[in-house]
Amino acid sequence: MIELQQALLANMADCHPEIVTILSETLQAIASACARIGDIASQGVLADAHGLAASHNSQGEAQKKLDVLADECMSSALARCQHVAGWASEELEYVQASDAHGEQAPLLVVYDPLDGSSNIEANISIGTIFSILPHRYRGAKPGDADFMQPGHQQVAAGYVLYGPATLMVLTCRRGVMVFTLDKRSGLDNPRWVLTQDQVRIPKATREFAINASNQRFWEKPIQRYIAECVAGENGPRMKDFNMRWVASMVAEVHRIMTRGGVFLYPRDTREPFKPGRLRLMYEAAPMALLVQEAGGRAVNGTSELLDLLPDVLHQKVPVILGSKDEIDRIVSYHADPHENVSWQLFKTRSLFVQPQA
Ligand code: FBP
């Protein structure tokens, strides 16, 4: 069995040994923190990890106790890591500079400590998402500007899924690896065993994931795409599709890594100036790098997510990612100048195609 450190050495065999050591030690610090988060989550109410904390994050969202506990696990692990100059979290309003290593350390880490928090009490899979960026301006402690980097600048990215098994899926820009946590190994030196390497997302799929309760707010290209999927073999796609919605992005993306599919949290017309629900820096960008490294594609409808330059730390973006053929199609619908006509045509046609008795 190949464990995390050995797998990273092999995966980055073409890199300078110093870079391998820096990234490997940082990823092991993150992996250890996630083993602790998983342990607390698996204890549930026994660890007082359910319910609301008496606080809100900077986006005005009520924080869950596990959001706060998970953030404490990650931030304390990063503060101890000699390679991390600073970090930023969904649960912290501002970026944090490391007291001990802020000026000279080479890396910055951005993370969502607990993804899918609406599922905690329902005991449905949740996760942690992280992104590692270069600390470009060494010699000074990092500030907001240091973190404002497009996703294609990421050195590494990953997520940990706290499901029946605890899995860590990560990329150091040399393909995507999956590790399974050996929970019997304890928390002091958790064993993450490589259980899949060079993950590939199938280009074609018959499965999509979207929160259908928002349908009336979707823009036309998304209305058309989903309606065509739902129309199944009687519609223009001439094949049936299945739908899933876990309300945990980590679980949705892992399903796509496992068997393909499309995940959509598009812009909606409810708040036209709020471009989406998911955050660019610690949800969309790391997932986009993983999906792209596995042969999929990730966009906001018109642009590659990895090309988006963040303006602010908690910036939100539309997210559409997964099997490449479907994402190419969705992008073409956004680019289709006759989109309105195509959509109107489809709508009219579907009025006349009565469902089979
Ligand atoms: P959190 O990071 O605050 O949990 O929010 C993100 C998220 O839970 C995603 O994991 C998920 O895809 C989405 O929000 C669910 O949204 P909705 O509640 O609208 O279905």
Tens digits of residue pLDDT in 84-134? 999 999 999 999 999 999 899 999 999 999 999 999 999 999 999 999 999
Q: How far is the CA of 343 from the centre of ligand 1 (A)?
A: 28
Question: Cα–Cα distance between 301 and 81 in angstroms, integer?
Answer: 37
> Measured between alpha carbons, how far is residue 344 from residues 59, 88, 219, 221, 227 in Å?
37, 44, 13, 11, 12
Q: How far is the CA of 109 from the centre of ligand 1 (A)?
A: 21
Q: How far is the CA of 98 from the centre of ligand 1 (A)?
A: 29
Q: How far is the CA of 115 from the centre of ligand 1 (A)?
A: 7
Determine whether the shortest distance from the Cβ of 91 to ligand 1 is under 6 A: no
Question: Cα–Cα distance between 248 and 125 in angstroms, integer?
Answer: 7
Low-confidence ranges of the chain (pLDDT < 50): 351-357
- DSSP string covering 132-161: EEE--STTS---HHHH---GGG-SEEEEEE
Question: Cα–Cα distance between 151 and 131 in angstroms, integer?
Answer: 9
Indicate the pairing of strand 207-209 with strand 242-244: parallel
Q: Is 73 helix (H, G, I), strand (E, B) or coil?
A: helix
Determine whether the shortest distance from the Cβ of 247 to ligand 1 is under 6 A: yes
Nearest CA to ligand 1 atom 15: 247
Nearest CA to ligand 1 atom 16: 247
Residue 224 in tokens: 């058309």
Nearest CA to ligand 1 atom 2: 115
Q: Contact, 57 vs 163, CB < 8 A?
A: no
* Residue 44: HSE in the Cβ half-sphere, 13 Å Cα cutoff: 8
Q: Contact, 340 vs 220, CB < 8 A?
A: yes
Nearest CA to ligand 1 atom 17: 247
Contacts 24+ apart (CB under 8 A), 330-339: 330/221, 330/222, 330/225, 330/262, 330/264, 330/299, 330/301, 331/299, 331/301, 331/302, 333/221, 333/222, 333/224, 333/225, 334/221, 334/301, 334/302, 335/302, 336/221, 339/220, 339/221, 339/224
Question: Cα–Cα distance between 43 and 130 in angstroms, integer?
Answer: 23
State the pLDDT at residue 280: 98
Q: How far is the CA of 268 from the centre of ligand 1 (A)?
A: 15
State the pLDDT at residue 353: 47
Q: How far is the CA of 348 from the centre of ligand 1 (A)?
A: 34
The answer, as to whether pTM is greater than 0.85, is yes
Residue 297 per-residue DSSP state? E
273-311 pLDDT per residue, tens? 778 899 999 999 999 999 999 999 999 999 999 999 999
Determine whether the shortest distance from the Cβ of 275 to ligand 1 is under 6 A: no
Q: How far is the CA of 296 from the centre of ligand 1 (A)?
A: 21
* Residue 9: HSE in the Cβ half-sphere, 13 Å Cα cutoff: 7
Determine whether the shortest distance from the Cβ of 248 to ligand 1 is under 6 A: yes
Amino acid letter, residue 213? S
Sign for the pseudo-dihedral over CA of 217, 220, 222, 224: positive
State the pLDDT at residue 165: 98
Residue 180 in tokens: 């399974």
169 has which bridge partners?
159, 178
